[in-house]
Structure 1
Amino acid sequence: MPASPSTARVINDRLALRLLQQRGPLTAGQLKQLTGLSRPTVADLVDRLTAAGLITVVGESDQQRRGPNARLYGIAADRAQLAALDVRTDGVTVTVADLLGRELTRAAAPIATDTATGPAVEQAVALVERAVRGARAERLHTLTVGAPGLIDPATGELRDSSGLPVWHRRLVGVLQHRLPGTRVVVENETNLAALAEQRDGAARDRDTFVLLWLGGGTGAAVILDGTLRRGASGGAGEIGFLPVPGTSGLPSATDCEGGFHQLASAPAVMDLAAEHRIAGHAFDKPQARGAADAAGLVGHAVRLAAGQARAEADGTAPGGPPEADGTGNAARFLEALADRLALGVASVAAVLDPGCVVLGGEIGQAGGDALAARVEERVARLSPLRTEVRASVLGGAAVLRGALLTARDSAQEDLATPPGVDPDSSSGQGS
């Protein structure tokens, strides 16, 4: 069924906004060429978007011809503000940006694991409110919250998950109450990281890939044919519960110990580093078991192993066994870690055949190409399905970036949609 004229206009407006967001300022002629729409249709959408305050003239093209056809139109950055909140078990980070996604301010606050639910929620909400005031965000349109755990696809709410603080689930409702004019959206942190890696990171050239999250915990996000797949209950990618060899038992419905989580989470990586006598500042802090601590050790091991390889190549390696300076231990640690990660990647490949897996999170980024190459080599031995393994470009910052991108897309689509029109109920395009 063809779209109604009003729906077609909204679809065209969204398309134009998406192009302006991705490519920067464009002339009406360039919009015509990129959208395939007729000249009158483009002229109408430019007038609509300008009247709505969503785009504005930001200059002229460098072409010889002057006049209306040379005007460059760009997103009106101050039309609305956006916010993104990255919620972890030990703290929160918030950023506020304009409609172009340019950051206006950023703030973070630790929240101790023994903090009661009420005070923890208040700390997080107060941080968001201070950031909004600091950015002078008078029109905060959308706040996207990235959190660990399952998101109910029917309600969009964070589901009760074993092992996660209660304040995570209470937070969204309090934010909506304290920011009544703002749309508050919650999404799984790994899903947001995958969207960011697809837009700005390691998977920019891939429509189908899986992000394997390696941080404080483990998770996966599935992008198939350019679309994020959440699963029937929102649990697609809960790879921490995947039964794998090498663990102390089997996972249960309420506990992922015994699953892939036991091999690849930050505490597991730190235990593996200790077994291989990888020294690092993280071990100077008895309570350090987080993603940043594990990532620091992995990065340290990568540098040690690379230094040894260079020294062997140019003949300057010191005499005696490699263990004397720790480099041999570093290489063996990376090999052992790659063995573990390959179990998860090979399982993903066997079920989804994505062709590409990105090692995300702080640990995936710290391992870099050295760890990714080791994992890819092992997966090639475990699976007949060709799977490229890449290191994250964005690391832990991908969650906040993905949340901001999601908020930006949501706000632009909402602002471009007149009341009473549902462009998602039909498909089609204007002439």
Structure 2
Amino acid sequence: MRASPSTARAINDRLALRLLQDEGPLTAAQLKLLTGLSRPTVSDLVERLAASGLIEVVGETGARRRGPNARLYGIAAGRAQLAALDVRTESVAVLVSDLVGRVLAEASVPIGGDTGTGPAVEQAVTLVERAAKEAGAGRLHTVGIGVPGLIDPASGELRTSSGLPAWHRRLVAELQERLPKARVSVENETNLAALAERGEGAARDHDTFVLLWLGHGTGAAVVLDGRLRRGASGGTGEIGFLPVPGTSGLPSATDCEGGFHSLAGAAAITALAGEYGIDAGAGAETDGASAGAAVVREAVRSVSDAGASTASSAAAEGFLDALAERLALGAASVVAVLDPGCVVLGGEVGQAGGPELAGRVARRLRTMTPLPTEVRPSVLGGGAVLRGALLTAREAAQETLFTTP
């Protein structure tokens, strides 16, 4: 059955909009070449999309060229403003962008562990409102939120967890109440980090990979054939609960102590570094993820520094080998089940370890599994959560705005 003229127009419009989003500003001739549509059809859709406010002329192809054929068309960046939030146990970070992802404002605020639910929520919401005002956003179209918890795959809501502050759940509801015209969505932070690494970071050339999150805590995200996999209950990647050798006990249904978290969480990493006499120095950050990243960064520096003493270099070598052994335990379990072909060491620690740590994990992994697996360091580190939240917010906004009459 042939599509009706209106359906054909809608299909062509969405195709053109996606190309403009993915490929950047294009001329009408370039759109014709990429879509395979006729010149009159492209001319009509450009006129239609411009009239609807979805695209605009953003420049010309060359200094000597003038006229309609030289016009470069791009997504109308100001058509919508978006917000992305990274909600941690003791902090919130936010960025506000336009529809093409250009960051207009950024801000963050620490939230102490003794802060009550009401004050914590108010601090976070005020932060979002202040950032939106700074960005000149009259209203936010879409808000994407990354949280360190499980998301119910049926309802899309953050599930109750004894390990998370009560204000996390209240924050989502409060944002929706204070921003009634905005679309608010929430996603697990590690899943968002994986989406960001695939779109902008270490996994850009992989449709199948696993991201191993190494920050304050541990987690994993699974992308198979280009799709993020969440599991029946939203718990895919809860690797912190994975029973592994080398801990003092076993994890429980309510506590990951004794699981992989006890070997690879930030506190465990800093403790391991202490055993080798490695200290990040007086200038090291105090929060868990940053402290763990700092000792790993210091060890990598010592190994790479030709002027470092033999003793400090040997200590750094020993620490990185011991850490790689721990990380390979968790990675090997994932590889044995999923055979992803690529493991990205994400989070602040994964980025701090860089190729040095990734290479050591890869070498150890090769002795533990017959399945060929590349190990890569994160490109985005802890910032991947915000980038992933922004990517999902853009996707959601475009899904709505790109549906033209």
TM over 0.5: yes
What does residue 292 of structure 2 align with? 294
Structure 1 CA distance for aligned equivalents of residues 332 and 367 of structure 2: 9
Superposed CA offset, 1:194-248 (max 9, x none)? 1111111111111111111100111111111111111121111111111111112
Which of 318, 326, 329 is 2:315 aligned to?
329
Q: What is the TM-score normalised by the length of structure 1?
A: 0.89
Change in 2 beyond 3 A, CA 1:333/1:145 = same
What does residue 422 of structure 1 align with? none
What does residue 178 of structure 1 align with? 178
Classify the secondary structure of the residue corresponding to 1:107. Answer: strand
Structure 1 CA distance for aligned equivalents of residues 3 and 194 of structure 2: 31
Aligned positions of 1:74-223 closer than 5 A:
74-223=74-223
What is the CA-CA distance between 1:339 and the residue it aligns to?
A: 0.2
Structure 1 CA distance for aligned equivalents of residues 223 and 347 of structure 2: 17
Structure 2 CA distance for aligned equivalents of residues 378 and 130 of structure 1: 48
Aligned length: 405
Aligned positions of 1:219-258 closer than 5 A:
219-258=219-258
Structure 2 CA distance for aligned equivalents of residues 11 and 158 of structure 1: 35
Report the AA paired with residue 132 of structure 1: A
Classify the secondary structure of the residue corresponding to 1:86. Answer: strand
Report the AA paired with residue 85 of structure 1: L
What is the CA-CA distance between 1:41 and the residue it aligns to?
A: 3.9
Structure 2 CA distance for aligned equivalents of residues 61 and 85 of structure 1: 36
Which of 317, 325, 333 is 1:339 aligned to?
325
Structure 1 CA distance for aligned equivalents of residues 47 and 244 of structure 2: 58
- Asked if the contact 1:17/1:412 (under 8 Å) is kept, the reply is no
- Asked if the contact 1:10/1:416 (under 8 Å) is kept, the reply is no
Classify the secondary structure of the residue corresponding to 1:206. Answer: coil
Superposed CA offset, 1:106-161 (max 9, x none)? 11100001111111111101111111111110131111011111111111111112
Q: Does 1:364 align with 2:350?
A: yes
Which of 382, 397, 402 is 1:411 aligned to?
397
Report the AA paired with residue 385 of structure 1: L
Structure 2 CA distance for aligned equivalents of residues 410 and 79 of structure 1: 14
Q: Does 1:72 align with 2:69?
A: no
What does residue 58 of structure 1 align with? 58
- Asked if the contact 2:243/2:259 (under 8 Å) is kept, the reply is yes
Change in 2 beyond 3 A, CA 1:251/1:37 = farther
What is the CA-CA distance between 1:66 and the residue it aligns to?
A: 5.3
What does residue 277 of structure 2 align with? 277
Which of 361, 365, 374 is 1:388 aligned to?
374
Change in 2 beyond 3 A, CA 1:155/1:11 = farther
Classify the secondary structure of the residue corresponding to 1:115. Answer: coil
Q: Does 1:42 align with 2:42?
A: yes
Gaps of 5+ in 2: none
Q: Between 9-18 and 158-167, report the one with greater CA deviation.
A: 9-18
What does residue 425 of structure 1 align with? none
Classify the secondary structure of the residue corresponding to 2:141. Answer: strand
What is the CA-CA distance between 1:284 and the residue it aligns to?
A: 8.0
- Asked if the contact 1:49/1:416 (under 8 Å) is kept, the reply is no
Q: Between 227-236 and 295-304, report the one with greater CA deviation.
A: 227-236
Report the AA paired with residue 109 of structure 1: V
Classify the secondary structure of the residue corresponding to 2:43. Answer: helix
Structure 2 CA distance for aligned equivalents of residues 60 and 39 of structure 1: 19
- Asked if the contact 2:327/2:361 (under 8 Å) is kept, the reply is yes
Report the AA paired with residue 265 of structure 1: G
Report the AA paired with residue 30 of structure 1: Q
Report the AA paired with residue 78 of structure 1: G
Report the AA paired with residue 293 of structure 1: A
Change in 2 beyond 3 A, CA 1:54/1:278 = same
What is the CA-CA distance between 1:61 and the residue it aligns to?
A: 2.3
Report the AA paired with residue 360 of structure 1: G
- Asked if the contact 1:14/1:412 (under 8 Å) is kept, the reply is no
Q: Does 1:263 align with 2:263?
A: yes
Structure 2 CA distance for aligned equivalents of residues 119 and 81 of structure 1: 26
Gaps of 5+ in 1: 312-316, 420-431
Identity of matched residues, % = 71
- Asked if the contact 1:282/1:296 (under 8 Å) is kept, the reply is no
What is the CA-CA distance between 1:25 and the residue it aligns to?
A: 0.5
Q: Between 33-42 and 61-70, report the one with greater CA deviation.
A: 61-70
- Asked if the contact 1:91/1:110 (under 8 Å) is kept, the reply is yes
Change in 2 beyond 3 A, CA 1:42/1:340 = same
Q: Between 226-235 and 296-305, report the one with greater CA deviation.
A: 226-235
- Asked if the contact 1:96/1:103 (under 8 Å) is kept, the reply is yes
Superposed CA offset, 1:3-28 (max 9, x none)? 66555544433332222122211012
Classify the secondary structure of the residue corresponding to 1:407. Answer: helix
Bigger RCO of structures 1 and 2 (CA < 8 A, at least 6 apart) = 1
Change in 2 beyond 3 A, CA 1:289/1:64 = closer
Structure 2 CA distance for aligned equivalents of residues 46 and 68 of structure 1: 11
Structure 2 CA distance for aligned equivalents of residues 206 and 12 of structure 1: 28
- Asked if the contact 1:282/1:293 (under 8 Å) is kept, the reply is no
